[in-house]
Amino acid sequence: MRLKPAKIALGSAILLCGIFASTPANAQTAGGAVSGTVTSPSGAVVPNAKVSAKAIATQQITETLTDSNGHYAFASLPPGDYEISVSAEGLGTASARITVAADGTTTADVKLSGAISLGDLGFSPAQTQGSAEDQARLNKRSHMLMLHQRFGLIATVPLIATLATSINAGGKSTSTTDRDLHVALGAVTGDLYGISAYYAIRAPRIEGTQTRGPIKAHKILAWIHGPGMILTPILGAIAFDQKNKGEKVHGIASAHGPVAIVTAAAYGAAILSVTFKF
């Protein structure tokens, strides 16, 4: 079948009419207009104020400025809920919630309060807005450090008792009862110390914090008593074994006493470095 040019032209024209006819219909339902006037606390119109319309659903922001009559207008915004925010130099900021209806015109006049905002001072939203998560992290940190402190203080009791019983457990003493008591107290000390250390190590870190003050000494001392608390029972076990065999403590095991004393001294100093602070 061969079509005549006139028929082709007519068909094309009908098709194009159909396309163009449908386009305005879609545009008419696409959005609504928003306009208003921005005034100062005294009621004077505010020219050159920055006006933004933020779609609540999409967070999309459209901006404009007020004219010399304090008037602003958004010709076509997609229907939905919006936050209209206005800011002007020296007059602060203000905002209003509106709903834009399709094919409608919404009027949103805004009066600036004149109040200065944190944004006017140059603070960013990241600085001024906190969160429940940040507070929860701080709460968890404080709670865990409180447990660290309590277990650490409780551990001093068996620690002192362990040191006291070492006099009868070592040297020329042959009493197995004294040695067993010394070992038992040392084990209790080690367990409590381990629990205390766990809470200190696992407490959440707070970003952007530099260690200052007595806590610095407290942390440095932990590098002495921490390894000491591991080494002391290992050396003690060797010494215990040697004594049980009726041997004199010798070799590396003879370092058990000095290592224990250094560890206990570092531990005591670490406690004192922070005890008189809150």
User: Which residues lie near other proteins (CB under 8 A)?
Assistant: 41-42, 90-91, 114-118, 120-123, 127-139, 141-142, 145, 206, 208-215, 218, 274, 276-278
Minimum distance from residue 140 beta carbon to other proteins (Å): 9
Closest CB to other proteins among residues 185, 200: 200
Contacts of 200 (CB under 8 A, 6+ apart): 144, 145, 148, 222
CA distances from 177 to 67, 81, 250 (A): 95, 80, 21
The nearer residue to other proteins, 40 or 189, going by C-beta atoms, is: 40
Give dist(CA 252, CA 239) in Å, integer: 9
Q: How far is the CB of 57 from other proteins (least distance, A)?
A: 27
Residue with smaller CB distance to other proteins, 51 or 274: 274
SS3 call for 271: helix
Give the nearest distance from C-beta 49 to other proteins in angstroms.
15
Rank residues 5 and 133 by Cβ distance to other proteins and give the closer one.
133
- Residues paired with 105 in a beta bridge: 33
* Residue placing its CB nearer to other proteins in the complex, 139 or 175: 139
- Give the shortest CB-276-to-other proteins separation in angstroms: 7
Whole-angstrom Cα distance, residue 110 to residue 104? 19
The tokens for 148 are: 């660290």
Nearest to 259 by CA among 185, 172, 162, 180: 162
Least distance (Å) from other proteins to the CB of residue 145?
Answer: 8
In sequence order, the β-bridge partners of residue 86 are 51, 94
Q: How far is the CB of 202 from other proteins (least distance, A)?
A: 16
List Cα–Cα distances, 36 to 79, 139, 243, in angstroms. 17, 46, 93
Q: Which is nearer to other proteins, 157 or 230 (CB)?
A: 157
CA distance 259 to 268: 14
DSSP letter (8 states) at residue 45: B
C-alpha neighbours within 13 Å on the C-beta side of residue 122: 0
